[in-house]
Amino acid sequence: MTETKNAPQEIDLIELFNKIGKWIGNQIKWFFNLFVAIFYFFLRNTLWFFLFIIIGIIAAIVFHKVARLYYHTELVGYSHTISNIEVIQSINNWNFSTIFTEDEMNNVKDIGATYLLDINKDGIWDRVEDIDDMEKMDTNIMKQRTYGNFCIQIEVYDTLLIPRIKESVMNYLSNNQRVLERNEIRLRQMEQLIPKLQKEIIELDSLKKAEYFSNNKPTVAKMGEMLLIGEKETKLYHKDVLELIGQQQKIERDLFLNKDPFEIILDFSVPTKEENSLFYLTTRFVGISLIIGFFIILFFDQRKFVFDQIKKSKEK
C-alpha cells in the first residue's frame, strides 16, 4: 500500500524538476539570443556610433572655446559663536554684489555655503553636502550633518580673486554685531572660569592631602583580650584633579588659539584645473551624443517593426 502511495509523489517530483530544468534552459537560451542580437546590433551600426562620438567631440571642443573656464575651491570652518545653520543661511542670503566691484562680479560665478556630512558617525566629516540637495530637506541627510562645521564654496573665472573673496566673507561673518557680542561673552566666561577651576584644583588637592594623613592613622579596637589594628580606606582624588586640570588647559588653549568667532580648519586652495575642462566636456558631450544616437539608430534599425506595430494598432 505504501509503495503505491509513494509512486505518484515520486513522479510528481520528477516532473517538477524537469519543468524547472526546462525553464532554466529556456532562460539561458533567451539571454544568449538577446546578447547575440545586441552584439550584432552594435556591430552592424559601428560606423553610425563612431559618427555620433565624433559629433560629441566636436560639440565639446566648440563649447570649450566659447564658454568661460571657471575654477572651484572650498573653505571648511567651525563656528565658536553662532550655529552653523545661521552661518550657512547668512552666506547663502548674502548679496555680495554690494561688496565687489563690477569687474570683480564679472569674474565671480557663484558663492555659497553648505553642510559637512558625517556618514560613518565617527565624529569626522566624510563629504560635503551638495548645495542643490539642501532644498530637498532629506531627513536621512539632515541626520548626517555635523554640528558647528560649515563649508563655503566659491566658483570663479579668475583665481586671483580667491584671497579677496576670503577676506570679504570672513569680514562679513565676523563683523556681525550679534556674532561680536556672543564672542565677547564667550571669551569673558572662559576667563572667569579659569580662576574658579584653579581654586577647585587647590581645594581638591588640599582635601586629598588632609584625608590621606587622617585616614592613614591606624584604628585600634579591643575585643576581649585581643587588640585589632586596621586602616581606613583612603579615597583617591587623582582622577578628579586631572579632569579639572584638563578643563583648565583646554580653556587656556581656546583663549590663545580660538579668540576669533570662527576657526578656519581647511583654507581655500588655489585650483590649477578648471571645472569645465576639455576632458570633462568631452566625456559629457560624447555620453549625451551616444545616448541620443542610440535611440535614433534603434529607430531606423527597427523602423519596419515600429511601423508595423503602428499599423496594427490603427487597424484595431
Supply the pLDDT for residue 211.
Answer: 56
The mean pLDDT value for 296-310 works out to 73
Q: What dihedral do alpha carbons 163, 166, 167, 168 form, nearest 10°? A: 120
Give residue 55's pLDDT: 95
Q: Which residue has the higher pLDDT, 304 or 228?
A: 304
Is residue 168 within 8 A of residue 100, CB to CB? The reply is: yes
Q: Decide: 135 and 143 in contact? Cβ < 8 Å.
A: no
Count of CB atoms within 10 A of residue 135's CB? 7
How many C-beta neighbours within 10 Å does residue 66 have?
7
pLDDT at 126: 86
Cβ 75 vs Cβ 112: under 8 Å? no
| Higher pLDDT pick, 36 / 312 | 36
Q: Name the band, by pLDDT with cuts 50, 70 and 90, for residue 217.
A: low
- Single-letter residue type at 314: K
Q: What are phi and psi of 311, to 5 degrees?
A: -65, -40
Residues 6+ away with beta carbon under 8 Å from 234: 211, 212, 215, 216
Q: pLDDT-based confidence at 314, cuts 50/70/90?
A: low
Read off the pLDDT band of 96 (50, 70, 90).
confident
Instruction: Give dist(CA 19, CA 15) in Å, integer.
Output: 6
What confidence score (pLDDT) does residue 21 get? 82
User: Are the beta carbons of 187 and 165 closer than 8 angstroms?
Assistant: no
- Angle between helix 303-315 and helix 278-301 axes, rounded to 10 deg: 50
Sequence length of the chain is: 316
Which of the pair, 275 or 75, is modelled with greater confidence? 75
Task: Identify the band that residue 242 occupies on the pLDDT scale cut at 50, 70 and 90.
Answer: confident
Per-residue pLDDT at 76 exceeds 90:
yes
- What does the pLDDT read at residue 155? 92
The whole-angstrom separation of Cα 271 and Cα 21 is: 60
Angle at 314 between CA 310 and CA 316, to 5 degrees: 120
- Write out pLDDT tens, residues 163-198: 999 999 988 888 888 899 999 999 999 889 888 888
Residue 6 pLDDT exceeds 70: no
User: How high is the pLDDT of residue 20?
Assistant: 83
**In this predicted structure, what is the pLDDT of residue 311?**
64
Residue 138 has pLDDT above 70, yes or no: yes
- pLDDT tier, 235 (very low <50, low <70, confident <90, very high otherwise): low
pLDDT of 227: 44
**Could you tell me the pLDDT band of residue 229, with boundaries at 50, 70 and 90?**
very low
Q: Where are the alpha helices (DSSP H) in 67-117?
A: 84-92, 102-106
Q: Which of 128, 60, 34 is nearest to 280 (CA)?
A: 60
- pLDDT, mean of residues 293-312: 75
CA distance 93 to 27: 58
End-to-end CA distance of the chain: 59
Chain mean pLDDT for the chain: 81
Candidate from 150-159, 224-233, 277-286 with smallest mean pLDDT: 224-233
How far is residue 170's CA from residue 162's CA, in Å, rounded to a whole number? 12
- The Cα 236–Cα 243 span in angstroms is 13
Alpha-carbon distance of 163 to 167, in angstroms, equals 6
pLDDT band at 42; cut points 50, 70, 90: confident
pLDDT category, 230, cuts 50, 70, 90? very low
**Taking a C-beta distance cutoff of 8 angstroms, is the pair 73, 269 a contact?**
yes
> Which grid cell sits at 81?
559663536
- For residue 301, pLDDT beyond 80: no
Q: How far apart are CA 119 and CA 208, in angstroms?
A: 45
Give SS3 for 260. Answer: coil
CA distances from 70 to 63, 112, 151 (A): 13, 15, 19
- Please say if the pLDDT value at position 68 is more than 60: yes
| pLDDT at residue 57 greater than cutoff 90 | yes
Percent with pLDDT over 90 in the chain: 23
Q: What is the mean pLDDT of residues 154-167?
A: 91
Q: How far apart are CA 283 and CA 80, in angstroms?
A: 43
Predicted pLDDT at 175: 86
